[in-house]
Amino acid sequence: MDQILRQLSKIKIKARIVSCSHLKDLQKELQGLRVQGGISEEFYYCRLSQFQFEVPQSLPEAKTLIIAAFPQPTIVIILNLDGQRFPVKIPPTYLYYSDDLIQKFLEAMLNPLGYRIAKSSLPLKLLAVRSGLGRYGRNNICYVPGLGSYHRLVAFFSDYPATVDSWGPARMANFCRTCQICLNICPTGAIRPNKFLISAERCLTYMNEGETDFPVWLNNMAHNAVVGCLRCQEACPQNFKIKDSIFSCGEFTEVESRILLESGKLDVNKMPQLLQDKLGSLNFVDYLGILSRNLRALINTFQL
């Protein structure tokens, strides 16, 4: 397992191993936050109630959890409207290709030894911080040394024996203890000065990923990404050496841009094949219910 972690590190993937015996610890911690009021009932049922805190049926002999962080830059795509080009951003974490890359790498290392893996459905930020892979920021985002918050987390069950277990307490990054930049720049006031947990239901990411209308109190200029939010991450000193890593991921023609801005839920099966392929490469098929609404909000910020 040490060799596997070293091999992952060579390709800039950071990882840690914990025992599956901590599954109940994860569940209790999440439930405790809910009972204590740290997490609202609305947010819990919408975003946290789907986790599975049991070893999967496909791998009942699972003994360990491998949690990994894969570096991801900000993605920029271009919309074309009325002769103007509108660059819009996609934050890190929204492209899933790294999950498959890490899975294939682990299988190539473990399968010849007679061991298997299975993807998990767990609270990844909490698992990453508990494993020592990262630290919480004041904004409740997970920061990984060398990657900042510009990464995507993924975790796998394995039947490999638990020879190491890096489980420990959840900690805030030392830098955040005296810094309040994210608190001051948050466009919705979700980050609280006197509490470690943010008001998640006020977070723009939560609103951007939900299918309900934006609240009337939300300032139109708060919108800054196709989905999610980048304000606190771009301003965070822990990301200063990383945040300018931007990857251009294609351009949408005038016709394609108009299709994406249509009202209501988009039907990928009625789109031209090239547009389907572009959306598939960006993992946007999962967000067709909110894509038009979010893009219209972004275009409005350019015009204000």
Domain count of the fold of the chain: 1
**What 3-state class would DSSP assign to 70?**
strand
CA angle 185, 189, 190 (to 5 degrees): 105
If you ran DSSP here, which 8-state letter would residue 46 be given? I
Strands 246-252 and 74-81: parallel
C-alpha span between 198 and 43 (Å, rounded): 12
If you ran DSSP here, which 8-state letter would residue 45 be given? I
Contacts for 234 with CB less than 8 Å, ≥ 6 apart: 243
Please check whether residue 144 is in contact with residue 151, taking contact to mean a CB–CB distance below 8 angstroms: yes
Please check whether residue 95 is in contact with residue 283, taking contact to mean a CB–CB distance below 8 angstroms: yes
Residue pLDDT tens, the chain, 304 long: 788 888 888 888 999 999 999 999 999 998 887 777 777 788 888 878 889 999 999 999 999 999 999 999 999 999 999 999 999 999 999 999 999 999 999 999 999 999 999 999 999 999 999 999 999 999 999 999 999 999 999 999 999 987 889 999 988 998 898 899 999 999 999 998 877 788 888 999 999 999 889 999 999 999 999 999 999 999 999 999 887 777 888 899 999 999 999 867 778 888 999 999 999 999 998 898 899 999 999 999 987 5
Residue 25: domain span: 2-303
C-alpha span between 184 and 192 (Å, rounded): 10
Categorise residue 283: left if φ over 0, alpha if ψ from -120 to 50, beta otherwise: left
**What 3-state class would DSSP assign to 152?**
strand
Q: Which of 57, 58, 68, 63 is nearest to 23 (CA)?
A: 63
To 10 degrees, what angle do helices 2-10 and 97-110 make?
140
Q: For the chain, give the number of residues.
A: 304
